[in-house]
Amino acid sequence: MASPMVDFCEQSNPLVLVQVGQSRAEKANAKRVQQSFLAAAEKRALIWMAHRTPEWISPDQLTALAFLGQVGAGFCFALSGSHTLALLGVVACLAVNWFGDSMDGTLARVRDKQRPRYGFYVDHMVDTFGASALMGGLALSGFMHPAIAAGLLVAFLMLAIQSYLATYTIGEFHLSFWKFGPTEIRILLAVGALALLRWPVVLHGHYRLFDIGGAVAIAGMTAMLLWFTVKNGSRLYRQERM
């Protein structure tokens, strides 16, 4: 349904709806920028798997699977405070999340059944809820201070907002920052979960492993956020000089 403002503008300029439609099409077909360490090899593997995926499996089912994997990882983290072996479940759930999250879009593209606006919206709202569940599980695990888990979630959401705004204003959707993408982050998180089985506390027993890792991650994401905000803001300023 069109907004009241669009309805009002259409009365004085019939081209408004045409321009709105063109703008939506441009955002839906934004250039995907994926330059992470594993991007090339991962893309080849995903396309190979997509061609061999049974027809009865749909991209929506894979999106749901990714969400369940991320929620499952959060649940296993929360459980690991009293049952350390639940950390193995974290690794398994992260693998499930990778498969679903990476395959849903690839499968749609391979089958030429893309729904760009629907896929973009649903996929990233699912990521938002999933990230909240994951960080909530970490906060409850006892392996990370709740304040650091909250800081990680805020930093993730702010970086995501930056990415979505860049997609809308510049027409580029970055799936990675400084060679790090979702896959690399999952690998680091899985390695960290396995390390917790032996080294939950480091540096002479004074600091938790995930507190240190979380603080470093917050600093890194904050630096990325500031860098890309200045970079994209400057780019838009040059393109739209008064």
Report CA dihedral (133, 134, 136, 138) to the nearest 10 degrees: 160
- For residue 29, name the pLDDT band (cuts at 50, 70, 90): low
What's the mean pLDDT in 117-129?
A: 93
In angstroms, the Cα distances linking 62 to 91, 134, 215 are 18, 18, 32
Whether the predicted pLDDT of 6 surpasses 90: no
Burial (0-12, 13-18, 19+ Cβ within 10 Å), 196: buried
User: Domains along the chain?
Assistant: 30-239 (1.20.120.1760)
Q: Which residue has the higher pLDDT, 201 or 214?
A: 214
What's residue 13's pLDDT? 52
- Quick one: pLDDT band at residue 36, thresholds 50, 70, 90? confident
**Interval 226-237 mean pLDDT:** 93
Report the pLDDT value the prediction gives residue 18, as an integer from 0 to 100: 42
Strand 201-202, strand 172-174: pairing:
unpaired
Torsion of CA 169, 39, 74, 173, to 10 degrees: 10
In the chain, pLDDT over 90 holds for what percent of residues?
66
pLDDT range class, residue 201, cuts 50, 70, 90: confident
| Upper half-sphere CA count for residue 90 (Cβ side, 13 Å) | 31
Closest CA to 90 of 214, 218, 195: 195
CA distances 225 to 128, 158, 162, Å, are 17, 7, 7
User: At residue 4, does pLDDT exceed 60?
Assistant: no
Confidence (pLDDT) at 204: 66
